[in-house]
A and B are shown apart, each in its own frame.
Chain A
Amino acid sequence: MNIIETENLSKQYRQGDLSLNALSNINIKIPEHAFAALLGPSGSGKSTLLNIFGLIDQPTQGKLIFCGQDISHATEKELTTIRRHQLGFIFQGFNLVPVMTVFDNVEYPLTLLGLDKKARDEKVNAMLDRVGISRFKNHLPDQISGGQKQRVAIARALITQPKLVIADEPTANLDTQTATGIIELMYQMHQEFGTSFIIATHDERMSSHCHTSYQLHDGVLQ
């Protein structure tokens, strides 16, 4: 089964009387357990496509199938439920909640799922151990480095064991050495949990780890 499948998917933005095609007739099939890269220059539409894959944006035309389910006409509440249970996000700017500790940030998605305290504690401690930041678990995001923040974000994205993780330029804000560590961690997590990753990136080292790369140019899949 494909984790993501699109049929003639397009996205247009309107600016007054002008219409801008961000994506045109995208037909793509990303299989389960993929570690895929979305490549392309700035403005090519890769972030737009990634947002649509992450169910936080909707196409103007075409069909979007997630895990075999056509969700082109799903309501916002239905999309939120899918995101809560089956999707994880890693952002370029980490996007951690500043008033929550590292532990609380990773615990948050489990709280949304309604897990009891004991189960949450066990899962979060195990995940923090796995990504190598358990000694910072009581720190606030402001008190840790960029690389450590991205590890927290990876832990948060994977804590619910989602089917798909969407990562938007996850190494763009990191130095080379740290970025390498993050790339390797993401790849290890993919192999360990079997989670699909779709990663928008400019980073050639990242794309070299990916099984598949999709190239976008001016909103068209090459």
Chain B
Amino acid sequence: MKWLKLAIKNLFRNRRRAFVTVLITAVGVSAILIGGGFANFTYLSLKEMAARASGHLIVAHQDYFDKEEESPMEFGLEEYQTLTKTLKADPDVRYAIARIDFDGLISNGEKSTIFMGAGVDAKYEFKIKGPFLDVESGNVLSKREREDDPKIMLGVDLAKSLNAKVNDSLTLMSTTVDGGLNAMDVTVQGIFSTGMPEVDKRSIIVNINTAQSLLVTDKVSSIALHLRETEATFKKYDQLTAQYPELAWETWFDQAFLYKAVKNLYNRIFGLLGFIIVMMVFFSIYNTVNMSVVERTREIGTLRAIGTYTHEITRNFVLEGVVIGVVGATIGITFAALASLGLSLAEFQMPPPPGQTNGYPLFIAIPVNLYLIAAAISLFICTLAAWLSSSKAAKKPIVGALSHV
């Protein structure tokens, strides 16, 4: 305690310099926390989006993920209702939703264009999508629709291309499972945006029955399992792959290409920024302690002469570094926590990322372990910088130190 008090007194010798050094440490810690919190929020959002889009687990025919189909639904799942019912009975599974992926042509009578379609179970699909599907006009599909009046939802850019509005009639054309061509008239129920123009230019959503009628099949492409806890994904994957070895299984992570790409990019960007911040704080502390060491060379000589070991001299300077680290980290953590809270309350909007049309709210989600890591980094670099700059000075010949002017 006595040494700690001495360290604090020594820091107060040059208050302005100590204040600036603490401030740099605090800014460094808060920058790491805010940057890390922003990246973490992005990862959580993309993870949630990916899991909601594909399901936490996707089960399909054993060749579905690895081979190309020569005809539509060649690798579809038969008697999927039984499998869906069995999977849904698992207490960890919230929803088991069948889905058909198909493509073809869509026409307004004057113009035709290709589409990428999804046949979905309307009862659950839109509950799951939640805020990640923005309905710009009209409504989502109804779980009960008349067989003679099938409905469709169009991506916003596809609707523009076809000059289609809600309640307009369009025609879908696709190849059936037998290789024939089938067509079906559909009515526009809603127009949606995923925020990605490339997707919105081609996407349609229909009820699964509509897709099956168009393709003339009773199969589905896959079943998406939505679990109660995302964290349970990999455990459940291991369990189900062992239980159903004849089927192919993938996790949301296998299909989350955007999540993986963004995480990889952000990890590099924030990693580099973090490294620069750490170096900046390190050199700042090193410089502060170094100046202090030079100014106190004569004093170091005196203390050495009266019997202080070199490691005790170094310890005193290291304690000064520790004080700077602790105070800087405390201020930095407090500021980052307040900034995180303030941004949440202010609902600050970020501009749309490249390739997307919608902005998103800026939230800083700082995990508890990041607070601990930032504090530990701050303490470590302050200690290291103080130790490096003082250990050499402590070993300087005493006579030379005493005659230092």
Contacts from A to B (Cβ < 8 Å): 51, 54, 56-57, 76-77, 80-81, 83-85, 87-89, 91, 95, 97-100, 108-109, 111-112, 156-157
Interface size class of B (residues with CB under 8 A): 20 to 34
Pick the contact of B9: A87, A100, A111 (CB < 8 A). A100
Residue of A nearest to B307 (CB): A84
Does B372 make an interface contact (CB < 8 A)? no
Supply 21 A–B pairs (Cβ within 8 Å), ascending by A. Answer: A56-B399, A57-B399, A80-B310, A83-B306, A83-B307, A84-B307, A87-B307, A88-B306, A89-B302, A89-B305, A91-B302, A95-B298, A95-B402, A97-B302, A99-B12, A108-B303, A109-B306, A109-B307, A111-B2, A112-B308, A157-B306
B residues neighboring A (CB under 8 Å): 2, 6, 9-10, 12-13, 298-299, 302-310, 312, 397-399, 402
Closest to B398 in A: A56
**Contact between A99 and B13, CB atoms less than 8 A apart:** yes
Contact at A97–B303, with CB atoms within 8 Å?
yes
Q: Which residues of B contact A95 (CB under 8 A)?
A: 298-299, 302, 402
Distance (whole angstroms) from the CB of A93 to the closest CB of chain B: 8
A84 CA / B307 CA spacing, docked (Å) = 4
Residue in A80, A83, A84, A99 whose beta carbon sits within 8 Å of that of B6 in the complex: A99
A-B interface, 10 closest residue pairs, ranked by CB to CB distance from nearest: A84-B307, A99-B9, A56-B398, A95-B302, A83-B307, A57-B399, A56-B305, A89-B305, A51-B399, A80-B309
Given contacts A51-B399, A56-B399, contact A97 B299 (CB under 8 A): yes
Q: Which chain A residues lie closer than 8 Å to B6 at the CB level?
A: 99-100
Give CA–CA (A222, B22) in the complex, Å.
58
A57, A98, A100, A108: which contacts B306 (Cβ < 8 A)? A108
**In the assembly, what is the distance between CA of A51 and CA of B308, in Å?**
16
Measured CA separation A76–B9 after assembly (Å):
29
Other A-B contacts than A97-B302, A99-B10, 8 sampled, CB-CB below 8 A, are: A54-B305, A56-B398, A95-B299, A97-B303, A98-B13, A109-B307, A112-B306, A112-B307
Q: Chain B nearest CB: distance from A17 CB in Å? A: 21
Interchain nearest-CB distance for A96 vs B (Å): 8
* In the bound complex, CA of A88 to CA of B402 (Å): 15
CB distance from A168 to the nearest CB of B (A): 9
Q: Closest approach, in angstroms, between the C-beta of A3 and any C-beta of chain B?
A: 17
Residues of A within 8 A of B399 (CB): 51, 56-57
Kindly state the separation between the CA atoms of A54 and B298 in the bound complex, as whole angstroms: 16
Shortest beta-carbon distance from A15 to chain B in Å: 14
User: Quick check: A85 and B307 within 8 Å, CB to CB?
Assistant: yes
Task: Point out the residues of chain A lying under 8 angstroms from B13, CB to CB.
Answer: 98-99
Contact A57 B299 (CB under 8 A): no
Given known A95-B298, A99-B13, A111-B2, contact A77–B309 (CB-CB < 8 A):
yes
Looking at the assembled complex, report how far the CB atom of A79 sits from the nearest CB atom of chain B, in whole angstroms: 9
Give the distance in Å from the alpha carbon of A196 to the alpha carbon of B9 in the complex: 35
Q: Are B307 and A56 in contact (CB under 8 A)?
A: no
Contact B307 A57 (CB under 8 A): no
Q: Across the interface, do A80 and B9 meet the contact criterion of CB distance under 8 Å?
A: no
* Known contacts A56-B399, A57-B398, A95-B298, A80 near B304 by CB under 8 Å: yes
